[in-house]
Amino acid sequence: MFNYWTEGGFIAWGQRPDPNTGRTPLQLFMDGRAQAAYDTRVFDLWSRIISGGPPAEAAARKGEKLTAQDFVDIGNWVAQELAKDDVWVVLMPSGQFLKPFVMGLDYSPTWQIVFGNNKQRLYVNVQTEQGKQLYADVLSGAAVYPDEYSANFTKGHNLLLARDAELRRQGLELIVKALEVNPSPDPMVSML
C-alpha cells in the first residue's frame, strides 16, 4: 500500500495482523517514522514517487506549470513504479488532492477511486485482481461505504468517466445527491 507518510501508523493500527507472523494484510510503503525507521533509499524512493517523478521534475526544471499531458505522464510513471513493489492500493489525504502524484492517479486508467470523501481518497490498481474486483464492486453497488455521501460520490465520480452517455447521466445524478448530502467542493469539481 502506498500512503501519505503521516497516516501510515493509523493504517497499520487499524489492521488485524496475522497471528503467526504479525504482518498486516496491507504492507505500508511508508509511515510517520519516515527516514528514522526506513532505509534512506526507501524514503528517497517514496519522496520521488509522491513528487510525481521525472515528468514533474522536468516541468519544474523548465519552470512550467504541469499540463494535462504531464499528468498523464506522471500517472503512467507512477503506475510503473508502484507495480515494481506490487502496490495495488493508494490512500491519500485531501491536502494531496491537487498535488502531481494524485493528479497523475486521476489521469491514469490504471488507478481508479474506490472510496472518496472530502478527507481521503482510496485508489486501486484495476490491473490487479484485488483492484479489479473492488472497482467492479463499486460500479455494481456491492461495495460497502460508511455513509451515503461517500457511496454516491465514489460511484458517481467513476460513472462520470464512462464513455456511455447513460452511465454519465447516472453518475451526475449520484454526484448531485452527494452534493445535497454534503455541500462541498469535491462533487462540484467532479461535475465540472
pLDDT at 82: 96
Angle at 85 between CA 31 and CA 56, to 5 degrees: 75
H helix intervals, the chain: 8-13, 34-37, 40-51, 53-62, 68-84, 100-107, 129-140, 148-160, 165-181, 185-191
Residue 24 corresponds to which cell in the numbers above? 498486516
- C-alpha 96/C-alpha 126 separation (Å) is 21
Q: What is the pLDDT of residue 76?
A: 96
What pLDDT sits at residue 15?
A: 72
Looking at residue 13, its pLDDT comes to 64
Residue 168: the pLDDT is 95
Nearest CA among 125, 136, 131, 79 for reference residue 104? 79
DSSP state of 7: G
Contact between residue 2 and residue 96 where contact means Cβ atoms under 8 Å apart: no
The pLDDT assigned to 57 comes to 94
- pLDDT for 2 equals 87
Q: What is the pLDDT along the chain (192 residues), one digit of tens a residue?
A: 888 877 766 776 677 888 898 877 777 766 666 555 666 787 788 889 999 999 999 999 999 999 999 999 999 999 999 999 999 999 999 999 999 999 999 999 999 999 999 999 999 999 999 999 999 999 999 999 999 999 999 999 999 988 999 999 999 999 999 999 999 988 998 888
